[in-house]
Each structure stands twice: as structure tokens, then as C-alpha cells.
């Protein structure tokens, strides 16, 4: 069954796939399948037409697999591809819904840490009174700070973890440092999530879903040597309710034995560990296309 898979080109060798996705591109190729390349740098720079210039015209239904894009960049990509007779199977609205926490949170609220968020602009953190009001519903206890897509967990103490959310000074300090480090990459605003304790040494599982079905189970890129096997009974109907065709869910086992959804993502931009065969995933995506 046919489908087009669009990858990012190597910035130094534009006729070749970016090395990070080279194995995936090989797995995506096959009878009836087309692999095409876009210029990610041109897309991010605002020239979507130039970015898709190497995509064959009339390639039909397509999936993107590449570097993370903002919702605006993804929308520009879809529009530029449409002008060449290529249709990304995930709409910009569905991309944003799976990619940004405010889009998926209400659906997954029963199985994910409690969260609140405030819109914010790059380098402009929310005012302390607004933060205090926002986190009041979370109660006391620890929390973590992120934006609609990413955290700075590698700067855990200074830009991610808040030991007590009732400590307004500490909360504001962590948020300010987080916004500073994210710089112009800040997406949407600031999210504060209640901190939950997960079982140490188990890692996170990343489940890849296509049209509501779990297709592939991998380790999380941050814990490549660990691949727990989660119970998905509570998650499957929520993935269906989200209504997005190609998504990932990252799951971790809480200390009380309950599997929790740590993150949801659009499958087109979720990282796939390199030690995993991608063929089953691309086979299913080709069928779905």
C-alpha cells in the first residue's frame, strides 16, 4: 500500500536524509512507498516553499517524520506541500492537539499528573501573583515547570523542580530561569505540573499509536536501556478520544503501582530509539495512508 514519507534532509548534503533519520528513511522505503526530503532550516527560517522544493509534485497522502516543529511551522509546511499536490495526513489542528499539553490534557487528565498553565512570551515569565493564583489548585507539595512541549529537566534544580509550590519565591525563581533558558524556543507558555514519584530504575515506555491502535513499544530516548511493558487498558480509549491519527504516549509506573501518562506527543516528531526496527511502524503508517 502506498504512502509518502517526508524526512528532513541533511543540511550539508541536501540530497541525503539527515543522519538522525537515515535508518528510518531506509525502513520507510519499499514497494509503493515514496521517501521525500524537505529543508528543515528553510522551513524554520520562514520559507516553506523553498523547504519543500525537492518533494515530488503529486505525491498524494503523506506523513512527516522529522525534527520538532511549532504548530505555525507545521501549518506552513502543510500549506506548501498542498500547493505541490501533497497532503499531510495530520492536520495542523490535530498536530497542535497532540503536540502541546493544553491540547491533550483534558482527555488524559485521569491518568496524568495534575497541571495548570499560563500563556507567556519568550523571555517574559508570568508575574509572581499570576503564578501563585494558577498553582493554588494544585495545593502544596512539589511540582515541575515546563512549557507546552518541553522541560529543562537537565537543569533540574534551577529550571525544572519546585520542592514546594506554596513557596512563591522559589516558584517564581524556577519559572524565570526556565523561561530564560528556553529563550525564543519557548512554546505557548508556562506549565506547572504536580510532581509524582515513579518507581526508580524502571524507566519510561513510549507507545506509538496509529488510528487508535498500539503499533510499537520502545524505550524512552532518555532511558534507552530500559523498556517497561505498561498496562494500556486505561490509555487506549483516551488515545481514541483524542482523535489524532499518529501519536505517542510516554508512560511510567508510579510508586503505588499505577501506570501514568507522563507526556503525549505527535508521532511525526517523537524521537524513535535507533536500536529499534522501524519497519512495523512504517508498514502500519503506509496502510493507514
Extents of the domains making up the chain: 3-90, 97-104+199-267, 114-194
Angle at 287 between CA 286 and CA 289, to 5 degrees: 65
Q: What is the pLDDT of residue 52?
A: 98
Q: What is the pLDDT of residue 274?
A: 85
In sequence order, which residues have a C-beta less than 8 Å from that of residue 116 and are 6 or more positions away? 134, 135, 137, 138, 191, 192
C-alpha span between 174 and 162 (Å, rounded)? 7
Q: What is the mean pLDDT of each run of 10 residues along the chain (289 residues)?
A: 90 96 94 94 98 96 98 98 98 98 98 97 96 96 98 97 98 98 97 97 96 96 89 95 98 97 98 91 93
Q: What is the pLDDT of residue 154?
A: 95
Q: pTM score, two decimals?
A: 0.95
**Contact 286/89 with Cβ under 8 angstroms?**
no
**Contact 46/38 with Cβ under 8 angstroms?**
no
CATH class of 97-104+199-267: alpha beta
Q: What is the pLDDT of residue 180?
A: 98
* DSSP symbol at 70: -
Tell me which residue of 67, 59, 63 sits closest to 41, measured CA to CA: 67
Q: What is the pLDDT of residue 255?
A: 97
Q: What is the pLDDT of residue 75?
A: 98
Amino acid at each position: 500500500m502506498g504512502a509518502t514519507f517526508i524526512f528532513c534532509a541533511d543540511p550539508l548534503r541536501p540530497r541525503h536524509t539527515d543522519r538522525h533519520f537515515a535508518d528510518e528513511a531506509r525502513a520507510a522505503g519499499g514497494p509503493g512507498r515514496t521517501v521525500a526530503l524537505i529543508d528543515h532550516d528553510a522551513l524554520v527560517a520562514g520559507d516553506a516553499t523553498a523547504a519543500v522544493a525537492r518533494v515530488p509534485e503529486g505525491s498524494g497522502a503523506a506523513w512527516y517524520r522529522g525534527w520538532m516543529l511549532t504548530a505555525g511551522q507545521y501549518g506552513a509546511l502543510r500549506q506548501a506541500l498542498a500547493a505541490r499536490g501533497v497532503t499531510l495526513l495530520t492536520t495542523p489542528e490535530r498536530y497542535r492537539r497532540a503536540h502541546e499539553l493544553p491540547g491533550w490534557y483534558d482527555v488524559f487528565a485521569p491518568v496524568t499528573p495534575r497541571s495548570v498553565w499560563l500563556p507567556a512570551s519568550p523571555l517574559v515569565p508570568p508575574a509572581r501573583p499570576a503564578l501563585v493564583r494558577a498553582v493554588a489548585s494544585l495545593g502544596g507539595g512539589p511540582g515541575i515547570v515546563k512549557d507546552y512541549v518541553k522541560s529543562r529537566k537537565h537543569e533540574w534544580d534551577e529550571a525544572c523542580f519546585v520542592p514546594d509550590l506554596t513557596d512563591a519565591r522559589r516558584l517564581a525563581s524556577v519559572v524565570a530561569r526556565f523561561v530564560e533558558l528556553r529563550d525564543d524556543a519557548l512554546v505557548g507558555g508556562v506549565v506547572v505540573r504536580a510532581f509524582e514519584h515513579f518507581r526508580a530504575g524502571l524507566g519510561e515506555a513510549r507507545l506509538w499509536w496509529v488510528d487508535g491502535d498500539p503499533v510499537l513499544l520502545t524505550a524512552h530516548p532518555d532511558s534507552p536501556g530500559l523498556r517497561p511493558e505498561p498496562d494500556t487498558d486505561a490509555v487506549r480509549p483516551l488515545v481514541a478520544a483524542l482523535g489524532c491519527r499518529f501519536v505517542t504516549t510516554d508512560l511510567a509506573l508510579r510508586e503505588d503501582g499505577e501506570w501514568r501518562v507522563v507526556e503525549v506527543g505527535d508521532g511525526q516528531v517523537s524521537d524513535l530509539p535507533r536500536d529499534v526496527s522501524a519497519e512495523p511502524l512504517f508498514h502500519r503508517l503506509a496502510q493507514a495512508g
